[in-house]
Structure formats: C-alpha cells, structure tokens
A and B are shown apart, each in its own frame.
Chain A
Amino acid sequence: MIHGKLRLALLSLLSSVEEAEFTWLRAKTGSTDGNLGAQLLKLEEAGYVAVEKKFVQRKPQTLYRMTESGRQALTEYVQALKQLLGAAIDA
C-alpha cells in the first residue's frame, strides 16, 4: 500500500507535522492536483490519513493528518526495509 513513491512521500511528510494543507503537500511533493488527490484518497480509504475540510477566511481548506495506523504502517515499512537491506548487506 505505501510502497508507491508518492504515497510513501506523503506519509513521511505527514509524520513530521501535526497536519498539513493540500497545497503544502502539493508543493513539497511536486505532484499534480489529480494524482495527489487520488493518492491521498487511497491513503484515506486505508485509514492511514484523516481529512478535515474547513473554511479559513472564507477560503476552503483541506487538511490532512496522519492517523495512528498510518504511523504504525510507516514504522513497520521502515523496519522491513532495514531488515531487507541488512540481509542484502550481510549476504
């Protein structure tokens, strides 16, 4: 699920902030609106990110926050990567 480059980048970004706006995520990843929206939706459906829509100074704002299961998935992914790479180095 999170092996995809953009989804992995998004989860990594969200792990370092409390919440982030769509436009900030777009700027940091350099992704297009459509692709970014689609990948965020997949992460939301998987329960890895939570979405909040609100109005700030009459402008719509979409905020994304990493969930606890998202944080756990990223941690497990990093551990698995390290194990695989450790095995590759040992071999």
Chain B
Amino acid sequence: MTDQVAEELKDRLRLIESMIAEGRRTTESWGWTFVLWGVAYYIAIAWSTFGHSTMAWPVTMIAASILTFGLASRKASRHPETTLGRAMIAIWFGMGISIFVVLLALGFSGRADLHIAVAIVGAMLGSANATSSIILKWKMQFASALVWWTAAAVSCFLSETQAGILFLAAIFFCQIVFGIYCMIAESRKQKSHSAANGASHA
C-alpha cells in the first residue's frame, strides 16, 4: 500500500470519528426551563397567597407546561433526536406528572398542607435533578438536588411560615439562579462550538 493510499484511509477514519463526535455534541439549551418554572412557582405562590384562589396552582402549572411544550418543540425542530435528549425529557416529564397528580389529589381531598407540599415537591425535584446530573455528569446540578432534598427534609420540622420561606429560597437558588447559570454556560458552549465549526470549515 502506498503512503498516499494509507493517508487517504486515515483521512476516512478521521472523518468518521469527527462526524460521530459532531453528532454527539449537544447544543441543546434547557436553562430557560428552570427560570420559567421558577417564575411559575412564584406566580402560583403569590396568586394562592394573596388571591386566595384554589385554582392558582393547577392553572399556573398547566400554563407553564403548555408554554414549556410549545417552546421546547420549536427548539427541538432544530436539533436531531438523541437518546440522551429523550432520557432527559422522560425524567422531567415523569416528575412533572407525578407532582401534578399527587398535589392535585391532596388539594381536592382537603389534605393539602404546606409541609407536605414542600416535602413532596422538594423530594421529587431533588430526585429529577440528581438523576439528570448523574447522566450529564454535571456537579452543579447535583448541588441543586442536594438543596432540594435538604429543603424537603428540613421543612418537616419547621413552622408553616418558615417552611414557606424555605421553599421560596430553594426556588430562588435551584430554579432562578441555577437556570441563569445554565443559560450562561450554554451560551458559552454554543459560542465555542460555533468558533470551532468556523475554524474547521475555514
């Protein structure tokens, strides 16, 4: 085999490797969903507290779900479907449905209590964040899971007002702050990805 042919074959192997790496490289952005849901929780809390409406939580959660689905489908049309992406959707979809069903049942049965609500929501969000962080190998998200689990456990020992304040603080750190951090990280990643692509096509 001549050197020229060997070089051409090596070139083909490099092409295969680079294309597989390109396909696996994720440019999906999910930071906005954390911020959106954080804001939705705050709206629901404010509405139910000051408006004294029993419909505040179901209405806000359904509206946030529709908004998330609409925006996510628009973004998804620009990305290929991957097993990793589907796994992430499955985790958060399952968690969302579980919280919705349990809290709705508690609300209608008249057994809803802030301690129980914070414990359930905190435990479920902790579980989803932890699972997601282990799959994505993302330590920051695991820290977020730890905050949710701590809030879930501690809320059981606090007064209703204290549990409420704890819930508001957990939402702020794990949804708003973490969501903004994700958005900044994703934006940097996309910029470096674009720069790398530009260099490779040059």
A contact residues vs B (CB 8 Å cutoff)? 3, 5, 8-9, 12-21, 23-24, 28, 30, 56-57, 59, 61, 74, 78, 81-82, 84-85, 87-88, 91
Q: A19-B80, A85-B13, A88-B6 in contact; A12/B74 too (CB < 8 A)?
A: no
Q: Which residue of the partner chain, among B15, B23, B79, contacts A14 with CB atoms under 8 Å? A: B23
Complex Cα gap A56–B75 (Å): 12
Interchain pairs with CB closer than 8 A, number: 81
Contact B20 A91 (CB under 8 A): no
Of the candidates A9, A12, A18, A78, the one whose C-beta lies within 8 Å of that of B80 is A18
Chain A residues with CB under 8 Å of B9's CB are 81, 84-85, 88
Q: Which residues of B contact A74 (CB under 8 A)?
A: 16
- Contact A24–B78 (Cβ < 8 Å): yes
A12→B81 contact, CB < 8 A: no
- Chain B interface main SS type: helix
**Most A CB within 10 A of own CB, among B19, B81, B201:** B19
Q: Please name all residues of chain A whose beta carbon is closer than 8 Å to the beta carbon of B23 when the two chains form the complex.
A: 12-17, 20, 28
> Is B86's CB within 8 Å of the partner chain A?
yes
Taking a contact as CB atoms under 8 Å apart, the answer to whether B83 and A21 are in contact is: no
